Amino acid sequence: MPEPATVTDIYQGRARVTFRPSNHTYSIRVHGHVEKLWQPSVTGILGLKAKPALINWAAKQSLLHVAKNLGKFESSQGAPPFIVDTKEIHSWLAEAQDGWRDDESATTIGTVAHRYAFEELRFRAKLTPNKPKFPLTADPVLMPDFTPGMVDAANSSALAATQFFDEHHFEPFLMERPLWSPVDGFVGTPDFIGLIDGELAIADYKTSKRIYAEYWAQLAALQYMFQMEFPEKVIKKRYAINIPKNGGDVQVETRNLDTYGDDLNMFMACWTLYRWERANDDYKKGSPVQVLGDLDALIPRPEST
């Protein structure tokens, strides 16, 4: 059963965001102006940035898909030698172009460690009375098809995240709460915005091989939307926190306001390319991204009491 959509009121209740995890899409409702306005995500926009390592990974996954089907064929044929109809090979190759993703579980070691870190931080901030259970154990619902080795790796990553939290003081303001730019037309969700060691900061957890440069553009876009909604608050630092899948040390890098402008410009360049492709690329065409405009002009902020 797909994970249900989440609905969040933003901009002091003047707008509402619906996020659908099944296809990672966002829509906006502003009463009296728009009921269901699709808006692209920050991560989707940054997906235009070339990632050679990702291309190599995808190619390997396609080859693994073919090898898996070949193994199934060999098992069904008994003892060698085998005669393989070339039509079978062509069908495996056709499936590999689009179907290799189906071989992967929707839940990975990274997603389990990420969820544990989120719940642990919520418990420490007294946002929930339920402390997440540790160590993690195999669960047919939360960790389908996890091997004992994968469970051990998830525990190592969860422990590394806990140790990082022990070394710093976190006071959340927003956690996994959508942000939206009505004047631009994009949306995204940061993992954490709040005080880290007494300084207003934004943080995002990753589970990759390393901290990649485009993370700073993603964080800058999220910071930009936050400060649009909360102009009285200024984020001073951005944290990229990589929780390793293999249980290694947590990798943490930070950037201050001195690089914010350049990082945001990089994201806006991708945003320009994204809109251009939707209008001009025959393979990526879609309806133009609609921009609602200045929300304060459409619906003034309520008077503070």
Convert 3-20 to b/e letters by CB count within 10 Å (16 or more is b): eeeeeeebbeebbbbebe
Assigned CATH class of 107-274: alpha beta
Strand ordering across the sheet containing 6-10: 6-10, 15-20, 25-30, 34-39
- Look at residue 191 in the predicted model and tell me its pLDDT: 93
State the Cα–Cα distance between residues 76 and 179, nearest whole angstrom. 52
pLDDT of the residue at 60: 64
**Residue ranges per structural domain of the chain:** 53-103, 107-274
- Residue 97's pLDDT is 52
Query: Which pLDDT value is given to residue 105?
Result: 40
H helical segments located in 230-259: none
Residues of the chain predicted below pLDDT 70: 1-2, 50-62, 65, 78-80, 82, 87-88, 90-107, 245-248, 284, 304-305
| Token reading at 305 | 């009491």
In eight-state DSSP terms, residue 191 is S
Global pTM value = 0.79
